[in-house]
Amino acid sequence: MIQRTIWTSFACLLIAVSPASFAGRVVSCSNLQPGIYSDPNAILGPPTSWVRDTSPNGGAGQRIAVMPGYSAWNVTPAGAPTLVGLGQSGQITVEFTLPLRNDPRNWYGRDFIVYGNAFVAVSQPVTWNANLNNISIMAGPDWVEPMAVSVSPDGLQWYTYAVTNMSGADGYWPTAAFQWDYNLSQLGTNSRWDKPVPPALTRPEITGMTIAQAVAAFQGSGGGTSFDLAETGFSFVRFVRISGTGGEVDAVSRVSPAPLPTSAQRLP
């Protein structure tokens, strides 16, 4: 999330990855940030779960999990790129192997999620062994750099969503790579990359919560900014484009259908 004053372009190497839950191919890019955020293929595959942190905060393992209050940055513990950054009037366009469909059965009616590295202010630094029950989320200042998100079924017709802190790439919500195990006071199971944060949740609501409580408020979601294709007029899209200046993007994920209620949950 470091502001830079020098920008560069990067030749887009087209690398396909699986599974189809995530963007599988970089179609084009321009004016990317220099340095460690200049690899366009960092946007492919799932979001970052662990970051290499060589400061004392990273402990002997020199790594910290990505959670609210500690966003993706630097490189992974294995040295792989974590983010692609957009420079002045930058853009990156990705393609999904299987189309994203406008499906009201998806979680909360949303169809895809863009993960960035938004950062919410917290009461103390997050370390490798931090007890997230003891770190509170402050009112701010947060670090969000919302950028425009556009979609297309064919690469010719495009629809661009309004850009706000809640509807822009690298806006809310911060990534929560793991759930929190209250019984053991440690990181628990992996969060779901295919489930959005409940749309009714607002940023002021998590102020004063601990990080652990905020993660619980995400209801299993890994965070990110979710989008509904209903407003686009497209029944499906294959391409997602992110454009702007100064923000970073980690991944783009499809949303899965919400489970049907069991017979015990259905109304008589």
62: its two tokens: 């020199």
80: its two tokens: 């792989």
Taking only the tens place, the pLDDT of each residue in 80-104 is 999 999 999 999 999 999 999 999 9
Residues of the chain with pLDDT > 70: what percent?
90
Of 7-11, 48-52, 200-204, 206-210, least confident by mean pLDDT is 7-11
- Let me know if 6 is exposed, middle or buried by CB neighbors in 10 A (0-12, 13-18, 19+): exposed
Domain assignment of residue 46, yes or no: yes
Domain assignment of residue 16, yes or no: no
Q: Tokens 């402050």 map to which residue?
A: 138
Domain assignment of residue 40, yes or no: yes
Given a cut of 50, whether residue 228 has pLDDT beyond it is yes
Domain assignment of residue 69, yes or no: yes
| Boundaries of domain holding 59 | 25-254
**pLDDT recorded at residue 7:** 38
Given a cut of 60, whether residue 16 has pLDDT beyond it is no
Taking only the tens place, the pLDDT of each residue in 185-219 is 999 999 999 999 999 999 999 999 999 999 999 99
Domain assignment of residue 267, yes or no: no
Domain assignment of residue 120, yes or no: yes
What's the structural domain count of the chain? Answer: 1
Of 15-19, 94-98, 141-145, least confident by mean pLDDT is 15-19
Closest CA to 110 of 265, 247, 221: 221
**pLDDT recorded at residue 260:** 75
Q: What single-letter amino acid sits at 254?
A: R
Q: Is 202 left (phi over 0), alpha (psi -120 to 50) or beta?
A: beta
Backbone angles phi, psi at 216, to 5 degrees: -65, -35
Domain assignment of residue 245, yes or no: yes
Domain assignment of residue 157, yes or no: yes
Enter the pTM of the model.
0.91
CA 99/CA 219 separation, integer angstroms: 26
